């Protein structure tokens, strides 16, 4: 039996414009399952301005910062920890390009193409690297122990290799 591949975690956000429509949310959750992601943790949140500013702090001073923070405080949204081999690249491929009109041309089967509206109201977020995912998961899920999860992953892989 081939060894079980190590899985990876990523943060996924379903942003307020999408979350306002429960039918769309249900369709996105179906896409997540159809693409073999495991939902490790899930929260529905409503941010204050200070929450949004803390998460998007690296963008402070950029022209879109205030608009982005306003958008992210405009309604409830979902934060998820997704898991599967190559979860970061897999989720980013599933959501597609940041700008939904470009996604409709260049990646018409992606979630942003299907549900996004503008570059700000693009419906989704996905971590772009392992370090970013770790930081972002810690921001939204401080109770989640990534080190324990990684240790459990390695132990499961060892067990599979011993069989």
For the cut 60, the answer to whether the pLDDT of residue 1 exceeds it is no
* Average of per-residue pLDDT across 142-161: 86
For the cut 80, the answer to whether the pLDDT of residue 16 exceeds it is yes
Give the global pTM.
0.92
Please check if 112 is assigned to a binding site: yes
Name the catalytic one among 59, 78, 99, 125.
125
* Average of per-residue pLDDT across 40-68: 96
Tell me the CATH number of domain 8-94+128-162, given options 3.40.50.720, 3.40.50.300, 3.30.70.141, 3.20.20.70. 3.30.70.141
Please check if 60 is assigned to a binding site: no
For this structure, is 59 an active site residue? Answer: no
**138 C-beta neighbours (distance < 10 Å), count:** 13
Instruction: Order across the sheet with 38-45: list the strands.
Output: 38-45, 77-84, 8-14, 124-126
Please check if 92 is assigned to a binding site: yes
Check if the beta carbon of residue 3 is closer than 8 Å to that of residue 161.
Answer: yes
């Amino acid at each position: 039996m081939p060894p079980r591949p190590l899985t990876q975690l990523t943060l996924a956000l379903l942003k307020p414009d999408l979350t306002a429509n429960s039918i769309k949310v249900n369709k996105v959750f179906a896409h997540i399952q159809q693409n073999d992601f495991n939902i490790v943790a899930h929260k529905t949140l409503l941010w204050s301005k200070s929450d949004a500013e803390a998460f998007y702090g690296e963008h402070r001073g950029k022209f879109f910062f205030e608009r982005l923070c306003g958008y992210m405080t405009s309604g409830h949204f979902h934060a998820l920890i997704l898991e599967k081999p190559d979860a970061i690249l897999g989720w980013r491929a599933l959501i597609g390009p940041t700008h939904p009109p470009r996604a409709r041309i260049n990646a018409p089967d992606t979630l942003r193409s299907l549900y996004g509206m503008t570059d700000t109201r693009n419906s989704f977020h996905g971590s772009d690297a392992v370090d970013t995912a770790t930081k972002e998961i810690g921001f939204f899920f401080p109770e989640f122990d990534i080190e324990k999860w990684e240790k459990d992953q390695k132990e499961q892989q060892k067990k599979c290799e011993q069989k």
